[in-house]
Amino acid sequence: MMSKEILMVADAVSNEKGVSREVIFEAIESALATATKKLNDHDEIDCRVAVDRETGDYDSFRVWTVVEDEEYLEEGSQFTVEQAQEKKKGLAVGDVYEEKIDNMEFGRIAAQTAKQVIVQKVREAEREIIIGDYKDRIGELVAGTVKKVTRDNIIIDLGSNAEALLTRDQMIPRETFRMGAVSYTHLTLPTNREV
């Protein structure tokens, strides 16, 4: 039954948020892997979940990375070369070894964890879409609606979940702004804090 729910979530969120199904599937895989780690009470292990894009069925894997130095070995998620050779001949430093594990049945807490991861990934994808829409328009004069007026800044709603920040040094002295009024600003590169 979980597989049909995964497909329904992927389609619904993709349509609602305008984000590709692939991004949603990656978010679901990440969420299921995070929940699997929590359900196993092992934050130190690495897990990967692969969702079939057609059926919604998924497989869970425990993952180890082969490292050279035993001194810095992370027990739950890494093997030394010698340990890796016991699992599969030919593994070298940097290789990944995966072992299929049982898919976990997810209760309320695991579902909440999965939801948080999905929401975060969707927000990141939405930000990337907005940045993509505006990055070629830097230096242009754009119009928007005044959303918020503070002592130092004006926040302008550009539509489609995009906002611009008009700083005091970009304003005409004694110019007044009212919420809901149309305003114009030049687009500039955002800082990491603003993105």
Mean pLDDT of 73-102: 82
Tell whether the model's pLDDT for residue 189 goes beyond 60: no
Domains of the chain: 2-132 (3.30.1480.10), 138-186 (2.40.50.140)
CB atoms within 10 A of CB 2: 12
Give the Cβ contact number of residue 40 at 10 Å. Answer: 15
pLDDT digits (tens, 9 = 90+) for 101-124: 888 765 666 566 666 777 787 788
The angle that helices 2-17 and 108-134 make with each other, rounded to 10 degrees, is 30
- CA R_g for the chain: 24
Per-residue pLDDT of 119-177, as tens digits, reads 787 788 778 888 888 778 777 777 788 888 888 888 888 877 788 887 877 777 777 77
Predicted confidence (pLDDT) at residue 193 exceeds the cutoff of 70: no
Per-residue pLDDT, 192: 47
List the one residue out of 18, 191, 34 whose CA is nearest residue 115. 34
- 61: confidence class by pLDDT, cuts 50, 70, 90: very high
Q: What is the largest CA-CA distance in the chain?
A: 75
